[in-house]
Amino acid sequence: MEFENSLMWHGPAWVLGTEPPAAVAGCIFSNSIDLGCLIDCGGNSADLADIPSAILVSPAALHENDQAFWAILNSTIDALPCEVPLILLSEAQDTLPDAPKPHAVVNVSISPNHLFQTMCDLQRTILRTEEATLRRSVFGRVHDYGTVPHREGPSSLLIVGLGQRFLEIQNLSQDNVEVVGAFNQAIAEDYLTQRGFDAVILDSSLQENMDNLRQLRLDARFATLPALVFADHPADIVPLFDLGATDVLTDKLTAENLKYRMQTAIRSGECRRQTDGFLAESHRWLIETNPSGGMSRDLYNRYLDEARSALKLRGLDVHELQLLPHSLLNPLPGQEDADNLWSTVLSIADAASREEDLICVVEGLGPVAVLKNDRGKTILKSRINAILTHTIL
């Protein structure tokens, strides 16, 4: 499975009972801050002033005062000006907190590479969700906009395999979560295309779990669907993370620990489903505005101002790119191919960018891209220039 391999924003890693994956290529930390002093400083340490890249906590490191630690950490996180990833590295019998709510719970034996990938994925997920919410606020809704089957339905959990844990998982699930079982991957694929699921649990032999996980991640619709995978042996943990497992579960999990990890995955999946829907609807809205000359400059500027304000909280900024030179924005009579060029450029930009990057038409500016990192701007600009170089109007 292809993973995120770079952080969206950089800052100190707040850690307890673990080390940040600083040796991983592409992983840059200004420093790491040990949260062991959190109770003594009451969360008021000057070291906690900078926005962290992520917060990594191993609950097993809390031998005493655990309730006080979680309470202070929760209030410290609430005081941050923006959302950051909280990852709990859990052993099988750890007691996990009611608050703060983590973005992910992972096996404490996760490798540095996979921990780094999880951090990168969660950073992007947070920015993606914020972008989706911003677009809903600025652009509004599309009249009579529908949805697709794999995003519809109530909160649901899919269990794939012939393991012995179906009833246990069903009993541990919340009342508002529907638990569905699938004997094999073929049945699972059928369910996944008919309705929405917030998470998947793979409970079978190692080989079947690996095959099922591989097939799941090959489908772009489910590449980021939270997937919890049971493993019988410690040696199985790394291969399962390699294939894209969100978390790897062991046989010695306590019921409360398993329940907590299920709830975390489902909460993440619910957010993912909503974000996917918001972004898909905004994409439709943008397409429908193109034939009329695009969105107004005022609306575009409002979007830019709000996007820039949100990103600056993490030391980031938007990167605008006008996709066509001014000479091609107002074609001369007889240049009927100009519309085709606009469509081609927009299609190339859509394919070369991420969903959270805005590709649109703006009155007076023509096709425009608003990207979340400068590297993406450079790549997209080179692809558009290659198209223009080989195109004759």
Do both 175 and 88 map to the same domain? Answer: no
Do both 129 and 177 map to the same domain? Answer: no
Residue that finishes a domain, picked among 120, 139, 158: 139
Task: Provide DSSP, 243-278.
Answer: TT-SEEE-TT--HHHHHHHHHHHHHHHHHHHHHHHH
Do both 105 and 154 map to the same domain? Answer: no
- Name all contacts of 220-223 with Cβ < 8 Å and 24+ positions apart: 221/150, 221/192, 222/150, 222/192, 223/1
- Whether 282 maps to a domain, the answer reads no
- What 3-state class would DSSP assign to 130? helix
Q: Strand (E) positions, 121-214?
A: 156-160, 178-182, 199-202
Is the preceding peptide bond at 100 cis, omega within 30 degrees of 0?
yes
Q: How far is it, in rounded angstroms, from Cα 84 to Cα 51?
A: 8
Pull the structure tokens for residue 337.
């191919």
What is the number of structural domains in the chain? 3
Do both 216 and 327 map to the same domain? Answer: no
- Whether 262 maps to a domain, the answer reads no
Q: Which residues of 140-161 are buried (b: 16+ CB within 10 A; e: fewer)?
A: eebeeeeeeebbeeebbbbbbb
Contact predicate 10/29, CB 8 Å: yes
Do both 31 and 111 map to the same domain? Answer: yes
Q: Of 4, 8, 5, nearest to 315 (Cα)?
A: 8
Residue that finishes a domain, picked among 116, 139, 162: 139
- Whether 288 maps to a domain, the answer reads no
Q: Of 237, 217, 239, 215, nearest to 226 (Cα)?
A: 217
Give the structural domain span for 98: 13-139
Beta bridge partners of residue 15, listed in sequence order:
34, 56
Q: Of 117, 137, 147, 144, nearest to 242 (Cα)?
A: 117
- Whether 177 maps to a domain, the answer reads yes
- Whether 5 maps to a domain, the answer reads no
* Per-position pLDDT tens, the chain of length 393: 455 668 899 889 999 999 888 666 555 555 788 998 887 777 677 778 889 999 999 999 997 778 999 999 999 999 999 999 999 999 999 999 999 999 999 999 999 999 999 999 999 999 999 999 999 999 999 988 877 766 777 889 999 998 889 999 999 998 889 999 999 989 999 999 999 999 999 999 999 999 999 999 999 989 999 999 999 999 999 999 999 999 999 988 999 999 999 999 999 999 999 999 999 999 999 999 987 789 999 999 999 999 999 999 999 999 999 988 776 666 544 445 556 778 888 888 988 888 899 999 999 899 999 998 887 788 888 888 887 776 644
Torsion of CA 346, 347, 349, 355, to 10 degrees: 110
- Whether 6 maps to a domain, the answer reads no
Do both 20 and 130 map to the same domain? Answer: yes
CATH at 96:
3.40.50.2300
Pull the structure tokens for residue 9.
């924003």
> What local confidence, expressed as pLDDT, does residue 95 receive?
94
Do both 217 and 240 map to the same domain? Answer: yes
The position carrying tokens 């947070």 is: 126
Query: Which residues lie below 8 Å from residue 282, measured CB to CB, with a gap of 6+?
Result: 132, 135, 136, 139
Reading phi first (left if > 0) and then psi (alpha if -120 to 50, else beta), residue 244 is in left
Q: Are strands 319-322 and 366-371 parallel, antiparallel or unpaired?
A: antiparallel
Q: Write down the pTM of the prediction.
A: 0.92
Residue that finishes a domain, picked among 222, 249, 276: 249
Q: How far is it, in rounded angstroms, from Cα 88 to Cα 57?
A: 5
